[in-house]
Structure 1
Amino acid sequence: MATNRVDALKKKLDRHEARPKAQKQEFRPRPKTPAQPQPQAKPKAVEPKSTEAPARPLLDRRGERPPERVPVILESSGAGDFHLIDSGDGLKLEQYGPYRIVRPEAQALWRPSESAQVWEKADAIFTGDTDEDGMGRWRFPREALGETWPLSLLGVDFLGRFTAFRHVGIFPEQIVHWRWVKEQQEAAGRPLKVLNLFGYTGVASLVAAAAGAEVTHVDASKKAIGWARENQTLARLDRAPIRWMCDDAMKFILREERRGNRYDIILADPPKFGRGPNGEVFHLFEQLPLMLDVCRELLSEKSVGLVLTAYSIRASFYSIHELMRETMRGAGGVVESGELVIREAGVDGKASGRALSTSLFSRWVRQ
């Protein structure tokens, strides 16, 4: 009976997909553009206006590969104002502060656990293209809601926002990495230098800065950087040592390598496809080896870790795991890889339900 009622809810969502799609996105979450790029001819090296990031060959890494821990499942049951209530039939029901939100979730292959009455109390429902790259619109069945609303996680305040790409300004599976960074800073006894690549709305940067880290935040979207600065003010961290860099990630790290700048922790959460502020093109499978190779060179002598998350790609975690181990040859430490999952917590946030897989990850940590 509950499934039939949820099916009826899904039919309601389908009727709304016929409405005109949003023509303008407020912010560009991962991936940075919804369109699949057309093949482009590689610009010649002599062209001064080339938008391609200057490359270099991969370095010849020698030495033993770091020991491995696989598979590792990093699980979040929520934190602060977020938890996953339920999932099923290709949907997920989440709590973000005061709002109950329904969004598509292709990996929710099972039936919902909660009753249809719980799902029908949603405050916001994303309708439209169910693909991660697709645009759509939000429907507010109970009452009209504003574009933004305040949220808090790990002691940091920030803004949620209803965007045209179903995202709300936070990827909650990353909570486990943010907690890890916070713990590393609290145990370090010195300010750690943190580089946050593809930093989006800055929640990870703010969590690190609030713990005492010196942060460099890089994102190609001017709107995302503006949103991150709003979050900085809301979090009362205007005086925190954060550099906000609107830049192409590959170009930025190659410049940092040439300048000799080094970091203690590097977080990289690249899209499978994205564009830089000047039209630079990023393809995950093509550029990931070089990106990790450069990040290895940016690690300080007392570095703590290098964290990679791969979101919305068709691959095994072993792909990025073995790449990370090859990249970190001779560095010691350990490479641990697997999946990030979010555990259903029910309406009250205290239950322990099914685990919803969200992302692949690999991280090198110094022991």
Structure 2
Amino acid sequence: MADLIHQPQLLIGRGWGDYGLVDSGHGRKLERYGDYRFIRPEPQALWAPRSEEWAAHGEFVPGADEDGGGRWNYMRDVPRDGWPLHWPNGDDRVQFTAQCTPFRHLGFFPDMAPVWDWMGAQLGAASDASCLNLFGYTGVGSLALSRFGAVTHVDASKKSVAQARANAALSGMEARPIRWIIDDAAKFTAREVRRGKRYDGIILDPPKFGRGPDGEVWRLEEHLPGLVADCRRLLDDNSRFLFLTVYAVRMSSLAIGGMLAELFADLPGVIEHGDLAVQEDGAGRLLPTAIFARWRRD
């Protein structure tokens, strides 16, 4: 029986050559993406910034609603088609295109770097592992996992999957055993259960609200338990992990940890939960970004 660890964990992402959290405060954050700096909203930055003035190339100004819309204001020239960055991944060099998107993101989530490291540690020296990346976005996580074996990358957005394939080519990894699937994550996972498939590891990063390619509606609080239950059916005693991240909801990590504890009661291992955070450059403050829950086999 998987044991639920009640003490929350903290996974800290730290800057590297192509990314860093420069400063944060008063509900905003200043980040560097290669040679460019951007200001974005950050409700959890409840403190005062360390610097009074921020020099940036652009700032995202949110809209009046809560659907993630808004606009970018540019103070200096920024390549509208994006620019290449990289993330060091063991012996691999995962490259990807950063770009200012209409939904305030820049094409990848830097707070996921310690998650990719953790998944790699669970897979160890494996070269024939089979992993599933649901809501895979632009593929950085899929590329990170591909050095351990086959990866099935699923996202409902045709544009995101196209960008993921482009990132694979940019990294010189287009020949890696990655299946690129444009589909609704819940429907695809249910079909995999019916097919009797299994995976060594699953990562899922669902949005609060979304739509599938055929207009399917996703609401996190309503549909997450069913999706995770199907993910559990794709794992067995020899599987290595499941990692779930949740952003922008009024929910505790203990709640999603408790959900995993119920669904994974028949598997050995450990269930942990806690926060993802990014540390400001220069060993500065920790900015929380998301909650997570994870199962790992001992």
The structure number with the bigger radius of gyration is 1
| 1:112 equivalenced with 2:49 (yes/no) | yes
Percent identity (aligned): 47
**8 A Cα contact 1:104 1:130, kept in partner:** no
What residue is the counterpart of 2:129 in the other structure?
A: 192
Match of residue 211, structure 2, among 275, 278, 287: 275
What residue is the counterpart of 1:330 in the other structure?
A: 266
Q: Which amino acid aligns with 1:150?
A: P
Q: Which amino acid aligns with 2:12?
A: E
Query: Cα distance, 1:65 vs. partner?
Result: 4.9
Alpha-carbon distance in structure 2 between the residues aligned to 1:317 and 1:65: 17
Alpha-carbon distance in structure 2 between the residues aligned to 1:189 and 1:243: 19
Query: Cα distance, 1:131 vs. partner?
Result: 6.3
What residue is the counterpart of 2:253 in the other structure?
A: 317
Q: Which amino acid aligns with 1:143?
A: D
Provide, for residues 199-234 of structure 1, a one-character-per-residue CA deviation record: whole Å limited to 9, x for no partner.
01111001111x232100000001111111111110
Alpha-carbon distance in structure 1 between the residues aligned to 2:179 and 2:149: 12
Alpha-carbon distance in structure 2 between the residues aligned to 1:151 and 1:282: 31
Q: Quick one: structure 1 residues 213 and 132, their matched pair in 2 at CA, closer, same or farther if it must change by over 3 Å?
A: farther
Q: Secondary structure at the match of 1:70?
A: coil
What residue is the counterpart of 2:145 in the other structure?
A: 208
| 1:66 equivalenced with 2:12 (yes/no) | no
| 1:177 equivalenced with 2:115 (yes/no) | yes
| 1:79 equivalenced with 2:79 (yes/no) | no
Alpha-carbon distance in structure 2 between the residues aligned to 1:343 and 1:243: 33
Match of residue 100, structure 2, among 162, 171, 175: 162
Alpha-carbon distance in structure 2 between the residues aligned to 1:278 and 1:189: 36
What residue is the counterpart of 1:358 in the other structure?
A: 289
What residue is the counterpart of 1:235 in the other structure?
A: 171
Query: Cα distance, 1:130 vs. partner?
Result: 7.1
Q: Secondary structure at the match of 1:263?
A: coil
What residue is the counterpart of 1:140 in the other structure?
A: 74
Q: Secondary structure at the match of 1:95?
A: strand
Unaligned runs of 5+ in 2: none
Query: Cα distance, 1:289 vs. partner?
Result: 1.3
**8 A Cα contact 1:317 1:362, kept in partner:** yes
| 1:341 equivalenced with 2:277 (yes/no) | yes
**8 A Cα contact 2:44 2:287, kept in partner:** yes
Query: Cα distance, 1:332 vs. partner?
Result: 1.4
Alpha-carbon distance in structure 2 between the residues aligned to 1:114 and 1:234: 36
Q: Which has the higher strand share?
A: 2
**8 A Cα contact 1:69 1:334, kept in partner:** no
**8 A Cα contact 2:209 2:219, kept in partner:** yes
Q: Secondary structure at the match of 1:188?
A: coil
Alpha-carbon distance in structure 2 between the residues aligned to 1:203 and 1:79: 15
What is the TM-score when the length of structure 2 is the normalising length?
0.94
Query: Cα distance, 1:360 vs. partner?
Result: 0.5
Alpha-carbon distance in structure 2 between the residues aligned to 1:128 and 1:190: 43
**8 A Cα contact 1:79 1:175, kept in partner:** no
| 1:288 equivalenced with 2:230 (yes/no) | no
Alpha-carbon distance in structure 1 between the residues aligned to 2:15 and 2:183: 31
Provide, for residues 71-119 of structure 1, a one-character-per-residue CA deviation record: whole Å limited to 9, x for no partner.
1011111234111010001110001111111111111111101241xx1
The more displaced of 121-130 and 68-77 is 121-130
**8 A Cα contact 2:158 2:182, kept in partner:** yes
The more displaced of 70-79 and 257-266 is 70-79
Q: Quick one: structure 1 residues 256 and 152, their matched pair in 2 at CA, closer, same or farther if it must change by over 3 Å?
A: same
Provide, for residues 104-155 of structure 1, a one-character-per-residue CA deviation record: whole Å limited to 9, x for no partner.
1111111101241xx1x21121124276633222222123533311110122
Query: Cα distance, 1:66 vs. partner?
Result: 2.0
Provide, for residues 252-271 of structure 1, a one-character-per-residue CA deviation record: whole Å limited to 9, x for no partner.
01110111111000001111
Alpha-carbon distance in structure 2 between the residues aligned to 1:175 and 1:325: 25
